[in-house]
Amino acid sequence: MTDVKKYLLVAIPVPIREAFIYLPKHSLLDCTIGSRVSVPFGNRELTGVVIGHTEENSIDSSKLRAIHQVLDNQALLSADLLSLCRWTSDYYCHPIGEVIFSTLPPLLRTNTALPAERTWLLTTEGKGLPSSALARSPKQQEIVNYLLENAALDDETVTASTFSKSALQTLKEKGLIYRAEKKAVASKAVNQLLNETPLHLTGEQHAAIEKVRHHEFGTYLLHGITGSGKTEIYLQLVARALQSGCQALVLIPEIGLSPQTVTRFRKRFAVTIVEMHSEVSAAQRAKNWLAAKHGHAQIVIGTRLSIFSDLHKPGIIIVDEEHDSSYKQQDGFRYSARDCAIYRARQHNIPVILGSATPSFESLNNAATGRYHHLILKRRAGTTPPAEIEMVDLRGQALTSGLSEQSLSAIKAVTEKGGQALVFLNRKGFASSQMCHSCGWVSTCSHCSASMTVHSRPKRLHCHQCDRRQTLPTLCPNCGSNDIDVHGVGTEQLEDSLVNALPGVPVVRIDRDSTRNKSTLKSKLAMVETGESCVLIGTQMLAKGHHFPKLNLVVIVDADQGFLNPDFRALEKIGQLLIQVAGRAGREGAVGKVLVQSHRPDHPMLELLVRKGYFALAKALMQQRHNSALPPYWHCVLIRAESKRRENAEDLLKLFAHCYREHFAYSAETQLVGPLPSPMEKINDRFRFQLMIKSSERKQLKYVLEKLISAADQNSLSKRVRWSIDIDPAET
Ligand code: ADP
Ligand code: ZN
Ligand code: ZN
C-alpha cells in the first residue's frame, strides 16, 4: 500500500529559500534522506536531494506532485554533511538547494549513476597458497605477492602498474582472488603511514603539538611567524589522526601557488591523498569526493570548497593561512570555509587548527577571549634569522619606474652576488591609466566607474572590471593633443625598466597576465627554484605560501597602495600582505632584507608594523575597531543591490532602510549605515549600492534580516533588482 500521508522535503537548485514538498513514488521508505531524486519542476525535470521526511504540508494536496525516480539507493550526502548544509544555508541566508548543489562536485549534481569502487582481494584459499604453488606463472605470483603484502589491489593500481589483466582473470577462475566493494581504509601502524622520518621538533613546535587534544573539539589558532615550522606541525598532527584510523582535511587558500603544500604532504605520507579544487577535472573531482566519503582516501587537500567534502571518519581539520580572504566566497553562496571548518570540527568532535603568520582579527579576538587556544611560535625553526625590514622614504626622490635609487642599487648588488630579488607590485599591466597633460582627460571606462589600465603586450587599454578592451590612443581623444602620458607604474613597465637596468640578469614576471598558461607558471617557478640569480616581479599571487629558497631581497614598490581604500579592513590587509611578502625572503641560510617604499613612511600604523611587528599592529587596529563598533567586536552584514537603473538599486535599499527604522530605530544593539554607492559604483553599466547593518548581538542581526527578507518578498522591486545578502563580508 502506498503511504500518502507523508511527504518528502526535496532541495532543488533554484533560488527559492525553502525546500520543496513532493510525494514519494511508491513508499517513503525508498527515499533515503540524503539521496538524489529526479523530480518534475514546472515542465522541466530536475535533480534534487531528499533532505527530510515530513508530515506537515501547507500546500493543497491535490497540487502536490510525485517524484519521478530515486537515483541513489544509499544516501549520497551523509547526515553530517546535510546538517552542515542546513546550518550554512541558515547562517548565510542562502537557499538550501543552491547550497547543496553549488558545493557538490559538478558530476554528482546530475542524475548520473555513481561509479562502484571495486577491488581485488585474496580468497581464503589464495591466502593459504604454498609459496611455490605459482612458480611457473610469475605474472600470477606477482599479483598474489602484492595482495599478501597489501591486502587489496585497486583497479587504479592495476592500471598504473604492469600487472597482467589476463593473470587476474586466471587467478579469479582458479578461485584464488575475488572482486569486492572497496572498504574504508583501516588504521595503520606509524611506520606504514610515512615515507620519510619526521623532523625533530623544536621546543616551540613540541609545546604547540602537545596542547592539541585529539578526539575532542577545540579550535587552535596556530600563530607562528613565517618559517617557524607550521607545516611540520600540520604534518605531525595529521600523522596522529591517521594512526587512529581517522582522515584529515587540509584547506589551503589557492591552488595555483600552493602545489608545494601538496608536495610536502605527498612526500611525507604513504597514504591516499586526494585533491579537491577547481583545477581537478570534473571526473576526477567526483571520484575524489567519493574516495573521501567512503574512506578510501585518508587525506583530502583542497581549497575552500573542500570543506563540503563528505568524510568517512574525520580526525582533524587544518586551515592553512586562515586569514586569507579567498576562504570567503565572494559571490553566489557567500560562505566562509574557515568558519564552516569550525562548525564541522564541533560536529565531529575533533580539533581544528587555524594556522597563520598574520591571523585575522576575528581569530585573534577569539583567542583573546579564550574561545580558541592560542599557540604561538616566535622563532624560526631553521637556522635562518628573520628578514630585516627597512623603510624607504620616496618623498622628493627621482624614481625609475617606481623604484628609488636605493632600491635599484640594492637589487643590482644582490644580483651581482648571484642572489635573487623579488620586486612586489600589486598592479598588473603597464600603467594604471593614460592621461592628457593638456586637458586632464583620463582613460576611464565608459561602462564602469574605473580607469582603463594601459597594457603594452599587446598594446591596448583594458578595463579590469568589465573586461572591455580598446586600442591605445596616440592623441588625446578629448582635445587632440599629443601630450599624453601614462600614470601609475604596473608590472610590465617595471619589467622593461629592470631589463634595461640589469643587462644579462633574467627578469621573471609572475602575474595573472603572464601566467594564464599553467605550464608557463610552472616553468617560471621551476626556474626560480633552481636558485639561479634573477629578479622576480610579482603581484598578490606571489605573496601566498610559495617558498623561494634563495631569495635575498624583497622590494615592496608601493606600500601606500590601499591607504585610500575605504574598506575598514584595508589596513589589516596591508599589514598581512607586507608581512607575507617579507616572509618570502631569507629562507635557507640567506639573510634577507625587505625594503618597503612609501610616501608616508611615518604613517603610525606602517611604523608600528615595521618596528614592532604584526601583532602590535593588530592590537592597535583592533582598538580602533572596538571604538567604531566594527568586527570582530560587532557583527556585520552587507546588503548589495545592482541594477541598470540607478534609482531601482538605491530604492530597494532605501526600502530596507525604512523597514529597519520601523522596527529597530531605538535599538542600542544595532546600527545602520547607508544606503551608499558601492566603492566601485558602476560596473558594466550596472549601478551598485550597499547597505550595512551592524549589531553587537548575532541573534539580533538574524532577526533584522528576517524582517528585511519578508519586506523584500512583498515588494516587486526585489524581483527587478539583483540583490544579495553577505554575512560577515570580507570586502565592504
Ligand atoms: P611555516 O609554514 O611556518 O612558514 P615551514 O613549515 O615552511 O614554516 O618551515 C620553514 C623551514 O623550516 C622549512 O624549510 C622546514 O623544513 C624547516 N623546519 C621546520 N621545522 C623544523 C625542525 N623542527 N627542525 C629543522 N627544520 C625545521
Ligand atoms: Zn586632452
Ligand atoms: Zn569597464
Q: How confident is the model at residue 531 (pLDDT cuts 50, 70, 90)?
A: confident
Separation of CA 634 and ligand 1 centre (Å):
36
Alpha carbons within 13 A on the beta-carbon side of 167: 15
Atom of ligand 1 nearest to the CA of 232: 6
Is 436 contained in some domain? no
The CATH code of the domain that includes 267 is 3.40.50.300
Tell me if 10 sits within 8 A of 45, measured CB to CB.
Answer: no
Better-predicted residue by pLDDT, 213 or 6: 213
485-515 residue pLDDT tens: 888 888 898 999 999 989 988 898 888 777 7
The protein residue whose alpha carbon is closest to atom 9 in ligand 1 is 229
Cα–Cα distances (Å) from 575 to 357, 399, 541, 563, in that order, read 11, 24, 16, 11
SS3 of 271-312: CCEEEECCCCCHHHHHHHHHHHHCCCCCEEEECHHHHHCCCC
Q: How confident is the model at residue 184 (pLDDT cuts 50, 70, 90)?
A: low
Separation of CA 248 and ligand 1 centre (Å):
20
Q: Which amino acid is at 10?
A: V
The protein residue whose alpha carbon is closest to atom 26 in ligand 1 is 382
- Residues counted in the chain: 732
Same domain, 273 and 227: yes
What is the dihedral sign for C-alpha 6, 8, 9, 15?
negative
Separation of CA 656 and ligand 3 centre (Å):
29
What percent of the chain clears pLDDT 70, i.e. is strictly above it?
96
- Residue 570 above 90 pLDDT? no
Separation of CA 349 and ligand 1 centre (Å):
29
The protein residue whose alpha carbon is closest to atom 15 in ligand 1 is 229
Q: Which ligand is nearest to the CA of 260?
A: 1
- Residue 522 above 90 pLDDT? no
Q: Which amino acid is at 74?
A: Q
Same domain, 327 and 369: yes
Q: How confident is the model at residue 545 (pLDDT cuts 50, 70, 90)?
A: low
Distance CA 506, CA 499 (A): 8
- Residue 652 above 80 pLDDT? yes
Is 102 contained in some domain? yes
The pLDDT score that the predictor gives to residue 116 is 67
- Residue 1 above 60 pLDDT? no
Better-predicted residue by pLDDT, 605 or 341: 341
Sort strands 7-11 and 44-54 into parallel, antiparallel or unpaired: antiparallel
Distance CA 241, CA 605 (A): 41
Same domain, 230 and 156: no
Separation of CA 299 and ligand 1 centre (Å):
21
Q: Which ligand is nearest to the CA of 685?
A: 3
Distance CA 302, CA 243 (A): 22
Q: Once rounded to an integer, what is the mean pLDDT over residues 664-679?
A: 88
Same domain, 559 and 668: no
Q: Once rounded to an integer, what is the mean pLDDT over residues 713-729?
A: 91
Atom of ligand 1 nearest to the CA of 583: 4
Is 238 contained in some domain? yes
The whole-model pTM stands at: 0.89
Same domain, 99 and 68: yes
Is 483 contained in some domain? no
Separation of CA 305 and ligand 3 centre (Å):
29
Is 467 contained in some domain? no
Cα–Cα distances (Å) from 289 to 47, 103, 104, 108, 345, in that order, read 19, 11, 9, 9, 19
- Residue 350 above 90 pLDDT? yes
CA angle 327, 329, 330 (to 5 degrees): 125
Q: Once rounded to an integer, what is the mean pLDDT over residues 623-651?
A: 94
The protein residue whose alpha carbon is closest to atom 17 in ligand 1 is 382
- The neighbour count for residue 519, using CB atoms within 10 Å, is 8
Atom of ligand 1 nearest to the CA of 202: 23
Grid cell 546588503 — which residue?
A: 639
Beta-bridge mates of residue 595: 390, 555
- Residue 282 above 50 pLDDT? yes
Q: Once rounded to an integer, what is the mean pLDDT over residues 550-557?
A: 89
The protein residue whose alpha carbon is closest to atom 20 in ligand 1 is 229
Is 441 contained in some domain? no
- Residue 142 above 90 pLDDT? no
**Pocket (CB within 6 angstroms of ligand 1):** 199-202, 205, 224, 226-232, 381-382
Q: Which ligand is nearest to the CA of 438?
A: 2
The pLDDT score that the predictor gives to residue 256 is 63
- Residue 419 above 70 pLDDT? yes
Same domain, 220 and 362: yes
- Residue 176 above 50 pLDDT? yes
Q: Pick the closest to residue 371 from 209, 219, 215 (CA basis).
A: 219
Q: Which ligand is nearest to the CA of 445?
A: 3
Is 421 contained in some domain? yes
The residue to mutate among 202, 205, 232, having the most atoms of ligand 1 within 8 angstroms of its beta carbon, is 232
Same domain, 399 and 345: no
Which of 88, 109, 130 is the endpoint of a domain? 109
Q: How confident is the model at residue 589 (pLDDT cuts 50, 70, 90)?
A: low
Separation of CA 443 and ligand 3 centre (Å):
11
Same domain, 561 and 648: no
Q: How confident is the model at residue 463 (pLDDT cuts 50, 70, 90)?
A: very high
- Residue 255 above 70 pLDDT? no
Which of 163, 181, 199 is the endpoint of a domain? 181
- Residue 371 above 90 pLDDT? yes
Beta-bridge mates of residue 505: none
Average pLDDT, the chain: 88
Atom of ligand 1 nearest to the CA of 201: 23
Q: Which ligand is nearest to the CA of 379?
A: 1
- Residue 546 above 60 pLDDT? yes
What is the dihedral sign for C-alpha 688, 689, 695, 698?
negative
Domain count, the chain: 5
Cα–Cα distances (Å) from 396 to 250, 411, 600, 606, 614, in that order, read 48, 21, 12, 19, 29
Tell me if 88 sits within 8 A of 94, measured CB to CB.
Answer: yes
The CATH code of the domain that includes 69 is 3.40.1440.60
- Residue 308 above 60 pLDDT? yes
Separation of CA 374 and ligand 1 centre (Å):
19
Separation of CA 473 and ligand 2 centre (Å):
11
Atom of ligand 1 nearest to the CA of 233: 6
Residues 6+ apart with CB under 8 A from 442: 433, 434, 435, 436, 451, 487
Atom of ligand 1 nearest to the CA of 225: 3
Q: Once rounded to an integer, what is the mean pLDDT over residues 212-220?
A: 96
Q: How confident is the model at residue 579 (pLDDT cuts 50, 70, 90)?
A: confident
Same domain, 427 and 552: yes
**How does DSSP classify residue 541?**
G
Q: Once rounded to an integer, what is the mean pLDDT over residues 309-336?
A: 95
Residues 6+ apart with CB under 8 A from 255: 275, 277, 278, 279, 302, 303
23-35 residue pLDDT tens: 888 888 888 899 9
The residue to mutate among 200, 201, 231, having the most atoms of ligand 1 within 8 angstroms of its beta carbon, is 231
Q: Which ligand is nearest to the CA of 235?
A: 1
**How does DSSP classify residue 63?**
G
The pLDDT score that the predictor gives to residue 77 is 94
The CATH code of the domain that includes 714 is 3.30.70.360
Same domain, 648 and 544: no
Q: Which ligand is nearest to the CA of 447?
A: 3
The protein residue whose alpha carbon is closest to atom 21 in ligand 1 is 381
The pLDDT score that the predictor gives to residue 128 is 83
The pLDDT score that the predictor gives to residue 467 is 92
The pLDDT score that the predictor gives to residue 4 is 46
Q: How confident is the model at residue 520 (pLDDT cuts 50, 70, 90)?
A: confident
The pLDDT score that the predictor gives to residue 186 is 60
Same domain, 260 and 138: no
Separation of CA 573 and ligand 3 centre (Å):
25
Which of 181, 211, 228 is the endpoint of a domain? 181
Is 317 contained in some domain? yes
- Residue 611 above 90 pLDDT? no
Q: Once rounded to an integer, what is the mean pLDDT over residues 451-456?
A: 91
Residue 407 grid coordinates: 632600491
Q: Once rounded to an integer, what is the mean pLDDT over residues 622-637?
A: 94
**Helix, coil or strand: residue 177:** strand
Same domain, 410 and 497: yes
| Four-CA torsion 719, 723, 727, 730, nearest 10 degrees | 170
Better-predicted residue by pLDDT, 586 or 169: 169
Separation of CA 210 and ligand 1 centre (Å):
18
Range of the domain at 92: 7-109
The protein residue whose alpha carbon is closest to atom 25 in ligand 1 is 382
Separation of CA 449 and ligand 3 centre (Å):
7
